Structure formats: C-alpha cells, structure tokens
C-alpha cells in the first residue's frame, strides 16, 4: 500500500465498485480451502475526461494488489464482473479499425495479470487465467456488451467486457466450464458464469450482517412505535415553550380584548336572539307577485294540436338537410386546416436501403449541440453486413 496515500485509497473505494466475500470450499480431494470472490465494476475511461483514465488504472493497480495479497495468504481468488476492457482483438467487434489497440493501458494491465495456457515456455505467466478463453480460446463473436442506442445487439456488434478470472491453480484443478448468456435480456450487458467441481462448506454461524438478523426480515409483525424516535429536548427549552413569560401573557390578553371590542354585537331589537328557524327562509316575500293577479290560461290553450303526417315528413326532411349541411361545412373546415397545417414532413429515405430514416439530436457539446439530423434506422453492425446500418446522414432543416 506504499504506492497510495490515504486520500487516494478513500477516493478509489468511495464509488462502491467492489464487493468481497469469502467462502469455505471442499475440493474433490476432500481438502477445505478458502475461496474469495471479488465482484467488481471497474471504472470507464471517458475520452473527454483524462482524469478518469488515471482513476481507472489506479483502481486496476489496487485490485491486483488486493488479489495477490489474498493469494499470498493462502486463499483462492476469483475476480468476476465488468472489467470495462476488451482484452484481445477477438474480444472486440472493430479492433482492426482502432488505432493502437494493443497499446491501450487497460489491455497492457490485463496482459500482466493474465496468463495464457497455450503460451510458450519462458513467456510471462500471470497469476490469473481468463476462464472463458481457457475453454473457448478461438470462439469469435463472444461478446457481453452492446450499445443499446444503436441497437447493436441485434447483429451481435459488441465487445467482451465481463470476465470470470480465477487463479491458476483453481482454474486448472476445479473449473469445468465457463460460459456467456447473451440470450438473457434486461441490460446492455449479459451474464457470465463458470462451473466449479467443488462443494461449499456451511458456516458455523451466519455473518453478523446477514439479512436474517435484520428486524424487517425477522418474520414477525412490527409495531409502528418501532419507527418512531423519542425527541430529546432541553429541559429549559421545554419549560419555556410550555410556560410563556409574563410579557407574552399580557400581550395575549390585550389581543383578546381588542378582538372582543371589534367584534360586532347583534341588535336586541327585532327578532329574538339566537339561531333562526329553518322555516323562516321559506316565508313568502312581500315583493313576490300574488298568484291571484296572474292570468291562468285555459285548458284549451295548453293542448297541443295534432300535426298531420305531411308535416312530420317535412320536419324529418328538413332535419336531414340541416345535418347534411353541417357535415359538409365540417368537412370544408377540416380540409382548410389540413391545407394550412400540413403536419410533419415525411422522413427522408436512406441511401443504402431506401428506407425511412430516424431523427436524432446532437448531444455532444459544441456548435451543433441540439441540432437534429437523419440517419439510417437499421441497427449498427459490421460494415460488410448489408443488413446493418448504412452511413447515410442528413441535417434536418430548421422549422
């Protein structure tokens, strides 16, 4: 740890990128040994942020020191997870077109960490083995990560960033298989795994941070009082809050007296004090005209005369004509607004497939930030694959 300062160690561990668990295993020879699993999510080196590449390489260095220290202590070690580096050209879909692929710092670190079972004598032999390449050394298209934005997974246009690395002795003696699960969806990565010919030895007692010790998983109904916390107050503050001072009491009495003086008092004349009777709101008003002065029409005027059949037919025909006129007027208005508001223009066709394009927005900082453009709607794939996305590009005209 002499290569790291305390501040750097805290910074490297502050992002929660490693989870370490230790287990007891029993080999086929009947020997009990300790197995340490280091689940990692290694940092990504953003080209626009050079400091993240430094952070990534320091994280790699610290991970290797921790793993080698566990090996020196007599434990088997497995490093698994997202290492965020495609090791060999066979692990990347476009390694041929990448400049200085072999000179990448992350790949050089993996060269020093890993050893190849087929390498010649005298070459470098790292403490760990890539278990998948141990069983599938020449398998092409074995990728674990694809771009979800470009839909590259449909054509398997990705890279292998997820690994199961085991120490040399463990892989040679106990590993039976190592596999990828690209058919499992739900993320831009797919799961990876391995099969070991060992059995796990149960612990004598559960770890203190085991879930079964948490009260919410104890299997019993919790009381609401468990979620409440007693508030501890200063006795002086509590007494002052409950018993106001003399000045405050005098001020409160003056306010109450002022409110009583400004409150309107009901008049004693007229109706008796108290709540009114509900029937008082239904008494006839003096301004309402009397029913005796109204001219009541005779019964004959209230009877509607019967209309003839010709009048009924005429009314129906007139109603249908009005409905037809209203429909024609609605269609005229609709056609007018359609001619005035044409709607969005049709998508242009890409040059490679003559298919409708998709619109995208520039999100990279620069002079074109926020501009719209058209590109081929097909998923990204190898340039030699005719079913993959063509290189069509067209800027969208401003509205």
The number of domains in the chain is: 2
Structure tokens at 350: 């890409």
Mean pLDDT of the chain: 82
Q: Is 3 a catalytic residue?
A: no
How open is the CA angle 13-71-78, to the nearest 5 degrees? 65
**Bind-site residues:** 82, 84, 188-189
Domain boundary among the residues 213, 231, 262 is at: 213
pLDDT in tens, 225-253: 877 877 776 655 555 545 555 555 555 56
How many alpha carbons lie under 13 Å from residue 285 in its C-beta half-sphere?
4
CB atoms closer than 10 angstroms to residue 154: 14
pLDDT in tens, 265-290: 554 444 456 777 777 777 666 555 55
Q: Is 189 a catalytic residue?
A: yes
Distance CA 256, CA 69 (A): 78
Average of per-residue pLDDT across 85-112: 91
Distance CA 385, CA 307 (A): 81
Q: Is residue 311 part of a domain?
A: no
76, 82, 87, 92: the active-site residue: 82
**Bind-site residues for Mg(2+):** 82, 84, 188-189
Identify each DSSP E strand in 105-220 by its residue range.
Answer: 128-130, 145-146, 158-159, 162-167, 175-180, 192-196, 199-201
pLDDT in tens, 14-53: 999 999 999 999 988 888 999 999 999 999 998 888 899 9
How open is the CA angle 175-177-182, to the nearest 5 degrees? 140
194 Cβ contact partners less than 8 Å away, ≥ 6 residues apart = 131, 164, 166, 175, 177, 178, 179
Specify whether 209 is located in the same domain as 354: no
Specify whether 353 is located in the same domain as 209: no
Domain boundary among the residues 213, 232, 261 is at: 213
208: three-class secondary structure by DSSP: coil
395 Cβ contact partners less than 8 Å away, ≥ 6 residues apart = 371, 372, 373, 374
Average of per-residue pLDDT across 79-102: 92
Average of per-residue pLDDT across 338-364: 84
**Structural domain boundaries, residue 377:** 349-395
Q: Is residue 33 part of a domain?
A: yes
Residue closest to 61 by CA, chosen among 113, 125, 21, 15: 113
23, 44, 154, 189: the active-site residue: 189
Structure tokens at 351: 């040059």
Q: Is residue 83 part of a domain?
A: yes
Tell me if 24 sits within 8 A of 63, measured CB to CB.
no
pLDDT in tens, 103-156: 999 999 999 999 876 544 455 689 999 999 999 999 999 999 999 888 888 889
Q: Is residue 283 part of a domain?
A: no
Q: Is residue 368 part of a domain?
A: yes
Output the pTM of the full model: 0.62
Exposure of 89 by Cβ count < 10 A (0-12 exposed, 13-18 middle, 19+ buried)? Answer: middle
Q: Is 41 a catalytic residue?
A: yes
pLDDT in tens, 163-193: 999 999 999 999 999 999 999 999 999 999 9
CATH number of the domain enclosing 193: 3.60.10.10
Confidence of residue 299 (pLDDT cuts 50, 70, 90): very low
Average of per-residue pLDDT across 300-309: 54
pLDDT in tens, 311-337: 777 777 777 778 778 888 888 888 877
Specify whether 10 is located in the same domain as 157: yes
33 Cβ contact partners less than 8 Å away, ≥ 6 residues apart = 24, 25, 26, 27, 74, 75, 76
Q: Is residue 188 part of a domain?
A: yes
23, 41, 104, 154: the active-site residue: 41
Choose from 81-95, 197-211, 285-299, 338-352 the range with maximum mean pLDDT: 81-95
pLDDT in tens, 196-211: 999 999 888 888 888 8
Distance CA 16, CA 287 (A): 84
Domain boundary among the residues 196, 213, 230 is at: 213
327: three-class secondary structure by DSSP: helix
Q: Is residue 322 part of a domain?
A: no
Predicted local distance difference test score (pLDDT) of residue 269: 46
């Amino acid at each position: 740890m002499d290569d790291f300062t305390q501040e750097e160690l805290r910074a490297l561990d502050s992002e929660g990128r490693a989870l370490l668990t230790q287990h007891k295993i029993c080999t086929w020879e009947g020997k009990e040994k300790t197995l340490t699993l280091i689940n990692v999510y290694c940092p990504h080196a953003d080209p626009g942020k050079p400091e993240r590449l430094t952070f990534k390489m320091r994280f790699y260095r610290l991970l290797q020191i921790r793993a080698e220290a566990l090996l020196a202590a007599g434990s088997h070690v497995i490093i698994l997870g997202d290492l965020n580096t495609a090791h060999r050209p066979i692990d990347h879909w476009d390694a041929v077109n990448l400049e200085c692929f072999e000179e990448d710092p992350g790949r050089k670190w993996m060269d020093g960490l890993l050893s190849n079972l087929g390498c010649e004598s005298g070459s470098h032999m790292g403490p760990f083995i890539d278990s998948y390449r141990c069983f599938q050394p020449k398998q092409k298209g074995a990728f674990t990560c694809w771009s979800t934005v470009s839909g590259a997974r449909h054509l398997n246009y990705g890279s292998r960033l997820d690994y199961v690395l085991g120490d040399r002795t463990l892989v040679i003696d106990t590993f039976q298989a190592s596999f990828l699960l690209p058919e499992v969806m739900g993320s831009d990565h797919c799961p990876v795994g391995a099969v070991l010919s060992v059995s796990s030895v149960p612990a004598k007692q559960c770890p203190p941070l085991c879930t079964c010790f948490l009260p919410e998983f104890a299997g019993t109904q919790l009381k609401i009082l468990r979620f409440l916390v007693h508030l501890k107050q200063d006795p002086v503050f509590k007494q002052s809050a409950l018993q106001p001072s003399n000045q405050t009491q005098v001020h409160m009495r003056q306010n109450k007296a002022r409110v009583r003086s400004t409150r309107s008092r009901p008049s004693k004349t007229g109706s008796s004090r108290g709540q009114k009777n509900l029937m008082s709101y239904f008494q006839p008003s003096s301004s309402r005209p009397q029913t005796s002065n109204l001219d009541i029409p005779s019964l004959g005027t209230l009877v509607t005369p019967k209309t003839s059949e010709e009048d009924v037919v005429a009314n129906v025909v007139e109603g249908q004509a009005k409905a037809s006129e209203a429909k024609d007027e609605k269609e005229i208005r609709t056609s007018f607004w359609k001619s005035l508001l044409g709607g969005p223009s049709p998508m242009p066709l890409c040059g490679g497939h003559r298919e409708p394009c998709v619109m995208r927005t520039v999100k990279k900082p620069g002079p074109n930030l926020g501009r719209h453009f058209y590109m081929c709607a097909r998923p990204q794939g190898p340039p030699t694959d005719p079913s993959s996305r063509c290189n069509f590009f067209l800027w969208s005209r401003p509205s």
